[in-house]
């Protein structure tokens, strides 16, 4: 089954999606859209338009939305109303109200597939950790800790992601949303949140450059999250501690490899009665050298469309729940 597809937004993510779609036998890219009309010459064999509404008038089966946060909800809703399957980058807009509007449009469609790009669930280290947790090998999760930080860069305060009108939120909404999604994916929904959100370094920016959150589920599981644009050294760290052991993911593969190698380290807890070096259990480490997350989530999107799978990860409920977490952290943490 070949799906005629358009990509709206040909920035970094649009180019990543195009590369993956070109290798998937189930998709045929017929059109691209970007507000930079100079890009038209780069796609001579495709329909090009700077107007996304014109793109949606074409004969399409699906659309990939890779645009600014402020406009993506309108495009998603319009595409759903046209009867298209929709894959959109995260976040699903700027506010919880955006994803609620999208869900209303989704419910009015005839079972069209809607998926958001929470690709971190498809990294091999994360999938390995999830398999270990689901197996019960180390018992129930007690608590988790996540750090996702980067060096903001020279143009941080001039980037569109620092513009509240375009982005809606700062580093937490832009990057930390991945960590919040993983926390919910592993621990479930949260019932309590304490947080602190501020712009520590870029005082001329209205949006935060750091967010700290302490979250607790109804069953008592606790998660600590730090999302930062002042880490100065790119860092991804996701630690899970269970009744009988622990799992630590350090590093995550990216196009620049700036977050280091992706590896998962795990160990069974060992007390004095079974370990000579108490407090230093025997660990095992697995290294991953390939990032197939972009390909795997597009494959899942296709499988849901053709009926091989019923519900995608990163569906509208996932998007709503994580956006509610983001807004909750903002409400609790902002003075």
Map the chain to HEC letters. Answer: CCEEEEEECCCHHHHHHHHHHHHCCCEEEEEEECCCHHHHHHCCCCEEECCHHHHCCCCCCEEEECCCCCCHHHHHHHHHHCCCEEEECCCCCCCHHHHHHHHHHHHCCCCCCEEECCHHHHCHHHHHHHHHHHHCCCCCEEEEEEEEEEECCCCHHHCHHHCCCCCCCCHHHHHHHHHHHHHHHHHCCEEEEEEEEECCCCCCCCCCCEEEEEEEECCCCEEEEEEECEEEEEEEEEEEEECCEEEEEECCCCCCCCCCCEEEEEEECCCCCCCCCCCCCCEEEEEECCCCHHHHHHHHHHHHHCCCCCCCCCCHHHHHHHHHHHHHHHHHHCC
Indicate if the pLDDT at residue 276 is higher than 90. no
Return the CATH number at 215.
3.30.360.10
Confidence band, pLDDT 50/70/90 cuts, at residue 208? very high
**270 or 93: whose pLDDT is higher?**
93
Return the CATH number at 22.
3.40.50.720
Residue 37's Cβ-count burial label (10 Å; 0-12, 13-18, 19+) is exposed
Q: Are residues 148 and 269 in the same domain?
A: yes
Q: How far, in Å, CA of 16 to CA of 7, rounded? A: 11
Which residues is 65 bridged to in the sheet?
Answer: 8, 88
Residue-level pLDDT at 333:
95
Indicate if the pLDDT at residue 275 is higher than 70. no
Q: How far, in Å, CA of 313 to CA of 82, rounded? A: 23
Q: How far, in Å, CA of 209 to CA of 213, rounded? A: 14
| Residue 304 belongs to a domain | no
Indicate if the pLDDT at residue 277 is higher than 80. no
Phi, psi (deg, nearest 5) at residue 90: -85, 160
| Residue 314 belongs to a domain | no
Residues 237-269 have pLDDT tens digits of 999 999 999 999 999 999 889 999 999 999 999
CA 331 to chain centre: 21
| Residue 215 belongs to a domain | yes
Final residue belonging to a domain, choices 63, 85, 112: 112
Indicate if the pLDDT at residue 10 is higher than 90. yes
Q: How far, in Å, CA of 246 to CA of 178, rounded? A: 21
| Residue 301 belongs to a domain | no
Mean pLDDT, residues 110-129 taken together: 97
Indicate if the pLDDT at residue 335 is higher than 70. no
Compute the Cα dihedral for 280, 286, 289, 295 and give only its sign: negative
Residue ranges making up the domain that contains 42: 3-112
Final residue belonging to a domain, choices 77, 112, 147: 112
Residues 50-97 have pLDDT tens digits of 999 999 999 999 999 999 999 999 999 999 999 999 999 999 999 999
Residue-level pLDDT at 334:
81
Mean pLDDT, residues 306-321 taken together: 95
Peptide bond into 91 cis (omega under 30): yes
Let me know: does 260 contact 284? Beta carbons within 8 Å. no
Final residue belonging to a domain, choices 57, 82, 112: 112
| Residue 148 belongs to a domain | yes
Indicate if the pLDDT at residue 155 is higher than 80. yes
The mean predicted confidence, pLDDT, of the chain is: 96
| Residue 300 belongs to a domain | no
Residue-level pLDDT at 261:
95
Indicate if the pLDDT at residue 1 is higher than 90. no
Residue-level pLDDT at 65:
98
CB under 8 Å to 24, separation ≥6 — which residues?
295, 298, 299, 302
Q: Among 44-48, 83-87, 196-200, 276-280, which stretch is predicted with the lowest mean pLDDT?
A: 276-280
Residue-level pLDDT at 134:
97
Number of domains in the chain: 2
Residue-level pLDDT at 154:
93
| Residue 303 belongs to a domain | no
pLDDT above 90 coverage of the chain, percent = 93
């Amino acid at each position: 089954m070949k799906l005629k597809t358009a990509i709206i937004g040909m920035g970094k993510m649009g180019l990543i999606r195009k590369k993956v779609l070109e290798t998937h036998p189930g998709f045929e890219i017929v059109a691209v859209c970007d507000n930079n009309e100079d890009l038209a010459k780069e796609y001579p064999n495709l329909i090009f338009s700077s107007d996304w509404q014109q793109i949606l008038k074409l004969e399409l089966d699906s659309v990939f939305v890779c645009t600014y946060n402020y406009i993506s909800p309108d495009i998603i809703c319009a595409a759903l109303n046209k009867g298209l399957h929709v894959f959109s980058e995260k976040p699903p807009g700027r506010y919880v109200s955006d994803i609620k509007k999208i869900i209303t449009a989704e419910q009015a469609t005839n079972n069209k597939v809607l998926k958001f790009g929470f690709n971190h669930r498809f990294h091999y280290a994360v999938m390995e950790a999830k398999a270990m947790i689901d197996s019960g090998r180390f018992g129930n999760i007690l608590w988790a800790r996540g750090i996702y930080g980067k060096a903001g860069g020279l143009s941080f305060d001039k980037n569109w992601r620092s513009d509240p009108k375009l982005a809606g939120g700062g580093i937490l909404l832009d990057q930390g949303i991945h960590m919040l999604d993983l926390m919910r994916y592993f621990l479930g929904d949260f019932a309590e949140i304490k947080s602190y959100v501020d712009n520590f370094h870029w005082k001329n920016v209205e949006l935060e450059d750091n967010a700290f959150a302490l979250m607790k589920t109804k069953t008592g599981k606790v998660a600590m999250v730090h999302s930062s644009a002042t880490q100065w050294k790119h860092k991804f760290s996701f630690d899970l501690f269970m009744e009988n052991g622990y799992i630590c993911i350090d590093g995550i593969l990216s196009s620049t490899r700036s977050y280091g190698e992706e590896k998962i380290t795990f160990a069974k807890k060992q007390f004095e009665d079974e370990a000579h070096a108490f407090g230093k259990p025997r660990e095992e480490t697995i290294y991953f050298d390939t990032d197939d997350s972009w390909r795997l989530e597009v494959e899942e999107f296709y499988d849901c469309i053709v009926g091989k799978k019923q519900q995608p990860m990163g569906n509208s409920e996932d998007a709503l729940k994580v956006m509610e977490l983001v807004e909750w952290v903002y409400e609790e943490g902002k003075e």
